Amino acid sequence: MSGYEWGAYASPTSCTPKLALGATSLAAYLQDSFAYTFSMGICNCRNTRGGSSFSHHANCRAYDCGIPTNGGVYRPELGDPIHQLLGPNGRRLGLDHLILNRIIYSARSPNGREYKGTHPHYNHAHIGLTAAAGGNLNYASIVAILGPPVGVPIGDEFMQAGDKGFQVAVAQKRLDALGYDLGLFTPFTGPIPAWWTEGAFAKGQDGDFGGVMTTAVSDFQADLGEAVTGVLNGVAAATLGMSGSTQGEKGDKGDQGDKGLKGIQGNPGDKGDKGDKGATGSRGAQGAKGDRGAPGTPGANGADGEDGADGKTGATGAKGVKGDVGADGPDGPQGEAGVGLEPGQEIEFGTTGKVL
């Protein structure tokens, strides 16, 4: 596990459940690379299990890659190749974490640490993408980094009438996608197998190689120009991605055969790359001058203010100090002796008093 690298982790800040290119491209690549895997979901507006922050599923930038278990027990031969493929290229792909088998891989712990969340992730690999990769990662970019999907066969043994189980259900699912009739679903007798629930199988994909399945395989072989045996092996099995076929020695060139049947319709092509940015548009003409607005209505008179509070009475001034009694002044000089007047005499007022 040495050399694992991951992008910077950042939780979503809102719930925007709009299917994004990155997770769908990664899902398609992993299903092409590992035939036994299946989708357990991309978009889900919720918090992380047991946490308070939004899950990457809230922004549709996480892919839950389903993996068959053995009665709920993790199968390392199926799960380990997934993190071994993605781990060394996580940062280049724009992956910011991966949770599988009670281990979380991220930039904090590139080679993994114990995951203490509520879900052990025994039956699926939870793969989170950065915001940039969630919107921009495409199938061609994944191939440029990881190489073309090599396909991991489920088994090399052929399948025939009487076989039952997960491998048969996968073959039925792929024949159904190509348009071959697999009939109605036959209810299980007893408990529903865990692999059937985890694999999201439906319709006639019951894992029972019966008469309807034999007919579908025979029709498929006929359309491929192969010998019709009703046994799924050889070119038919390899075309479904179920097993490889051993190439024999090159034979002599045969005579030209009759015109073959119309080939099976191919899968839809990958989404095209984003187009170049369009040229800047010309500046629009200036709009006409608007009419002058009508005068505004005068505002209402303000309400009368409240009377001010009465002022407090000032403090009484201090009583003045009584002054001392003034000292007695000095005695004036003694006046001159007055002159007595006879009856009829007057005093002439001059510089000196003179009796007239």
- The pLDDT score that the predictor gives to residue 251 is 37
Over the stretch 21-69, which tens digit does the pLDDT of each residue have? 899 889 889 988 888 888 888 888 888 766 778 889 988 999 999 998 8
- The pLDDT score that the predictor gives to residue 177 is 81
Residue among 136, 32, 121, 49 at smallest CA distance from 85 = 32
- The pLDDT score that the predictor gives to residue 253 is 42
Over the stretch 73-128, which tens digit does the pLDDT of each residue have? 999 999 999 999 999 999 999 999 999 999 999 999 999 999 988 889 999 999 99
Counting as low any pLDDT under 50, the low residues of the chain are: 152-156, 244-270, 272, 335, 338, 349, 351-356
- DSSP, collapsed to helix, strand or coil, labels residue 22 as helix
Give the C-alpha separation, 76 to 353, whole Å.
Answer: 158
- The pLDDT score that the predictor gives to residue 294 is 60
The C-alpha angle with vertex 50 and arms to 44 and 55, in degrees rounded to 5, equals 30
> Model's pTM, two decimal places?
0.47
- The pLDDT score that the predictor gives to residue 175 is 87
Edge-to-edge order in the sheet of strand 38-39: 38-39, 62-66, 124-129, 95-100, 103-106, 113-114
